[in-house]
Each structure stands twice: as C-alpha cells, then as structure tokens.
C-alpha cells in the first residue's frame, strides 16, 4: 500500500492501517490496509468504478462511519467524529441529501442557523451569497424536489460551504452531469482549491473528491488515488 509523501503542512486526515465496512453493512469489508494522509492545501481525487465503495470511503474519512480496524485522525485528533469536526469539515453527498420539506435557501442556511450566533440579516446575506456562487438564486424559494439532481448537488455544496470549512469532501459531483454542470464543478472546485473570497482571507480549501472517471480532473486536481478491489492505492502525489 503506497502512502502519501510526508509533508510539513498540517495533516487534516491521517489513516493508519484502516479497514472499513459500508454504511449499509459495517461488517463487510469495502477497503482495507489504508495508510494515507491529506495535508492542508491538497486537492485529491479518489477514482473508482461504481460500486467500489467510494461513497463509503468518503463517509469514513468524514468520521460518519467508524473504521473496523486501524486509526483515523481528523485535524490531529484520534477518532474524532463528524459531530466534533463539523465546523472544520464540509461534506457534499452524492445527490445533495437535502431536506425536501425545506426550500433551497432554508437548506443552505441550516448550518448558519444552528452553529453560529449571528443576526438573521447576516444569515440572509450569507445565504444569498452562497446561492449566487452556486447559481441557485432563481430557485431559492423552491423545494429540492422541483430541481434536477445536478442542481440538488450544487445546493448540497452551498450548504457544506456555509461553515467555511478547512476541508471539503465531495462525493461524485460530476457523475451523470451534462457538459454545462461538469464544466461548472471543475472550474468552481479549482477556484476553491486556489483560494476563494468566500473563505476567510481567501484561503485555499483542501479538497477530497470522488470520481467514476479521473480524466476530467487531470490538470485541476493535484493528487490522485484509486479505490479498486478493496485496496486504496495512491497514483500520484505532486
């Protein structure tokens, strides 16, 4: 099992000897013997065919799925849960995983309303800005069921970005996307990785993205890994 090269940058994710199951069946083995680190400023793409466990791997990396063996450290803390790291880590589920009884604007504003003590006017301002960034303003008052899957994914991204996370995990953002949405995701995540004015001091966002096809990400992401047959292999570390 190859490991990422050591770096003097802060390590946000550290996996040592990790074996993990799936959300549906924790007793199953989706991936085993993972030794991998994500450093501040990285932009990883984890590539794998459908059904290889990429989503489960991302859930485990976020702390939502405990590994069955090995050690996971998030932001320097051993076995921290998603709840403990929720203000540092953003997670975009495949399909968005939105609340369908809420409007798009209400979904996006949820983290702002629950995790910060800020005035309603500021919540509205930040929510509107996120909707603008993701081109969702026309659907602010619509419910998720009235939008296509690609737009729901963007809403999931806007919600995850609300906390201005240091680390953003994005599950399969361009799967089944048409050229317009694919181009948008590649451009926008590239901007986040270089530094976007939404983030404090326009700091770069550390990214881990899963993908069915690695080719669109060449020249945009900086590090690549492959998940196949229960093994996680680093392809390149630049």
119-168: pLDDT as tens digits: 999 999 999 999 999 999 999 999 999 999 999 999 999 999 999 999 99
Q: How far apart are CA 57 and CA 142, in angstroms?
A: 32
**Average confidence score pLDDT of the chain:** 91
C-beta separation of 230 from 22 below 8 A: no
What is the per-residue pLDDT for 5? 44
Domain 1-88+166-238 has CATH 3.10.105.10: no
What is the band of 84 on the pLDDT scale with cuts at 50, 70, 90?
low
Judge whether 120 and 181 are in contact, CB under 8 Å.
Answer: no
Q: Which long-range contacts (CB under 8 A, 24 or more apart) does 5-11 make?
A: 5/237, 6/37, 7/37, 7/39, 9/39, 9/40, 9/41, 10/39, 10/40, 10/76, 11/37, 11/38, 11/39, 11/40, 11/73, 11/76
> In which residue ranges of the chain is CATH 3.40.50.300 found?
1-88+166-238
pLDDT of residue 28: 83
What was the pLDDT predicted at 2?
40
């Amino acid at each position: 099992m190859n490991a990422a090269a050591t770096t003097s940058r802060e390590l946000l994710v550290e996996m040592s000897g990790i074996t993990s199951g799936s959300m549906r069946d924790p007793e199953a083995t989706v991936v085993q013997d993972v030794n991998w680190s994500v450093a501040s400023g990285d932009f990883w793409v984890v590539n794998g065919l459908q059904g290889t466990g990429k989503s489960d791997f991302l859930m485990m990396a976020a702390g939502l799925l405990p590994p069955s063996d090995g050690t996971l450290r998030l932001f320097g803390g051993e076995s921290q849960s998603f709840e403990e790291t929720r203000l540092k880590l953003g997670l975009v589920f495949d399909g968005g995983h939105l609340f369908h009884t809420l409007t798009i604007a209400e979904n996006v504003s949820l983290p702002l309303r629950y995790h910060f003590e800020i005035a309603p006017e500021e919540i509205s301002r930040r929510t509107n800005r996120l909707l603008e960034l993701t081109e969702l303003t026309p659907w602010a008052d619509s419910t998720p069921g009235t939008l296509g899957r690609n737009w729901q994914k963007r809403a999931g991204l806007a919600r995850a970005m609300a906390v201005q996370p240091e680390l953003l995990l994005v599950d399969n953002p361009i799967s089944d996307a048409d050229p317009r949405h694919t181009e948008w995701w590649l451009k926008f995540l590239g901007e986040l990785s270089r530094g976007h004015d939404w983030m404090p001091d326009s700091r770069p966002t550390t990214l881990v993205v899963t993908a069915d096809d690695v080719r669109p990400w060449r020249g945009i992401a900086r590090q690549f890994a492959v998940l196949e047959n229960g093994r996680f292999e680093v392809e390149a570390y630049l």
